[in-house]
Amino acid sequence: MYLFITILILIAALFMILIVLVQNSKGGGLAAGFSSSNQIMGVRKTTDFLEKATWGLAAVILFLSIISAAFIPKAQDMTDDAALKQQIEQKTTTTPGVVNPGFEATTPVKGDSAKK
Protein backbone atom coordinates (compact mmCIF):
# COMPACT_ATOMS: atom_id res chain seq x y z
CA MET A 1 0.00 0.00 0.00
CA TYR A 2 2.90 2.32 0.82
CA LEU A 3 4.37 1.81 -2.65
CA PHE A 4 1.00 2.53 -4.29
CA ILE A 5 0.60 5.80 -2.36
CA THR A 6 4.17 6.79 -3.20
CA ILE A 7 3.49 6.22 -6.90
CA LEU A 8 0.34 8.36 -6.68
CA ILE A 9 2.36 11.16 -5.04
CA LEU A 10 4.93 10.93 -7.82
CA ILE A 11 2.26 11.11 -10.54
CA ALA A 12 0.57 14.09 -8.85
CA ALA A 13 3.93 15.84 -8.54
CA LEU A 14 4.67 15.33 -12.24
CA PHE A 15 1.26 16.75 -13.20
CA MET A 16 1.87 19.70 -10.91
CA ILE A 17 5.25 20.35 -12.53
CA LEU A 18 3.62 20.35 -15.97
CA ILE A 19 0.81 22.67 -14.91
CA VAL A 20 3.21 25.13 -13.27
CA LEU A 21 5.43 25.15 -16.36
CA VAL A 22 2.43 25.89 -18.59
CA GLN A 23 1.49 28.92 -16.51
CA ASN A 24 3.10 32.26 -17.11
CA SER A 25 4.29 34.19 -14.09
CA LYS A 26 2.34 37.27 -15.23
CA GLY A 27 -0.93 35.48 -15.89
CA GLY A 28 -0.43 34.76 -19.59
CA GLY A 29 0.99 31.29 -20.11
CA LEU A 30 -1.25 28.85 -21.93
CA ALA A 31 -4.11 31.32 -21.77
CA ALA A 32 -2.19 33.85 -23.87
CA GLY A 33 -2.52 31.58 -26.91
CA PHE A 34 -6.32 31.82 -26.80
CA SER A 35 -6.72 35.31 -28.22
CA SER A 36 -10.07 34.59 -29.85
CA SER A 37 -12.97 35.83 -27.75
CA ASN A 38 -15.37 33.10 -28.90
CA GLN A 39 -13.41 30.18 -27.50
CA ILE A 40 -15.33 27.77 -25.31
CA MET A 41 -13.02 28.31 -22.36
CA GLY A 42 -11.79 31.86 -22.95
CA VAL A 43 -8.61 33.34 -21.48
CA ARG A 44 -9.90 33.95 -17.97
CA LYS A 45 -11.42 30.47 -17.66
CA THR A 46 -8.12 28.82 -18.65
CA THR A 47 -6.12 30.67 -15.99
CA ASP A 48 -8.80 29.84 -13.39
CA PHE A 49 -8.60 26.17 -14.33
CA LEU A 50 -4.80 26.11 -14.14
CA GLU A 51 -4.81 27.83 -10.76
CA LYS A 52 -7.46 25.48 -9.36
CA ALA A 53 -5.59 22.48 -10.74
CA THR A 54 -2.38 23.67 -9.08
CA TRP A 55 -4.06 24.11 -5.71
CA GLY A 56 -5.92 20.83 -6.08
CA LEU A 57 -2.76 18.88 -6.87
CA ALA A 58 -0.96 20.53 -3.96
CA ALA A 59 -3.79 19.42 -1.66
CA VAL A 60 -3.68 15.88 -3.09
CA ILE A 61 0.09 15.65 -2.54
CA LEU A 62 -0.29 16.93 1.03
CA PHE A 63 -3.13 14.50 1.79
CA LEU A 64 -1.31 11.50 0.30
CA SER A 65 1.87 12.39 2.16
CA ILE A 66 0.03 12.40 5.48
CA ILE A 67 -1.77 9.14 4.66
CA SER A 68 1.48 7.46 3.59
CA ALA A 69 2.88 7.93 7.10
CA ALA A 70 0.35 5.37 8.35
CA PHE A 71 1.58 2.78 5.85
CA ILE A 72 5.36 3.12 6.31
CA PRO A 73 6.81 -0.38 6.51
CA LYS A 74 8.21 -1.25 9.92
CA ALA A 75 11.94 -1.96 10.16
CA GLN A 76 11.62 -4.95 12.49
CA ASP A 77 8.83 -7.09 13.83
CA MET A 78 8.75 -8.27 17.42
CA THR A 79 9.75 -11.77 16.31
CA ASP A 80 12.84 -10.43 14.57
CA ASP A 81 13.74 -8.46 17.69
CA ALA A 82 13.47 -11.56 19.89
CA ALA A 83 15.58 -13.60 17.48
CA LEU A 84 18.23 -10.88 17.46
CA LYS A 85 18.37 -10.82 21.26
CA GLN A 86 18.72 -14.59 21.32
CA GLN A 87 21.64 -14.47 18.88
CA ILE A 88 23.37 -11.80 20.96
CA GLU A 89 22.98 -13.87 24.11
CA GLN A 90 24.45 -16.92 22.37
CA LYS A 91 27.45 -14.91 21.17
CA THR A 92 28.19 -13.40 24.58
CA THR A 93 28.14 -16.65 26.52
CA THR A 94 31.44 -18.45 26.76
CA THR A 95 32.25 -22.09 27.23
CA PRO A 96 34.16 -22.98 30.41
CA GLY A 97 37.94 -22.84 30.12
CA VAL A 98 37.98 -20.97 26.81
CA VAL A 99 38.99 -17.34 26.55
CA ASN A 100 36.74 -15.19 24.39
CA PRO A 101 38.39 -14.97 20.97
CA GLY A 102 39.33 -11.44 20.06
CA PHE A 103 39.50 -10.39 23.69
CA GLU A 104 42.70 -12.14 24.76
CA ALA A 105 44.73 -10.53 27.45
CA THR A 106 48.02 -9.33 26.13
CA THR A 107 51.08 -8.27 27.98
CA PRO A 108 52.20 -4.75 27.28
CA VAL A 109 55.16 -4.42 24.97
CA LYS A 110 58.24 -2.81 26.44
CA GLY A 111 58.10 0.92 25.76
CA ASP A 112 54.28 1.07 25.41
CA SER A 113 53.75 2.44 28.89
CA ALA A 114 53.31 6.17 29.19
CA LYS A 115 56.45 8.00 30.24
CA LYS A 116 56.12 10.71 32.80
pLDDT in tens, 66-79: 999 888 877 655 55
Q: Of 62, 73, 77, nearest to 2 (Cα)?
A: 73
Determine, yes or no, domain membership for 66. Answer: yes
Q: Is residue 81 part of a domain?
A: no
| Residue 76 in domain | no
9 is in which domain, residue-wise?
A: 2-22+36-71
The total of structural domains in the chain comes to 1
**Helical (H) or strand (E) element with 96:** none
Whether the pTM exceeds 0.85: the reply is: no
Task: Quickly count: other Cβ atoms within 10 Å of residue 79's Cβ.
Answer: 8
84 belongs to a structural domain = no
- Tens of pLDDT, residue by residue over 20-52, are 888 876 655 555 555 554 455 555 667 788 889
Amino acid at 44: R
Domain annotation covers residue 62: yes
Residue 59 within any structural domain of the chain: yes
Residue 90 lies in a domain: no
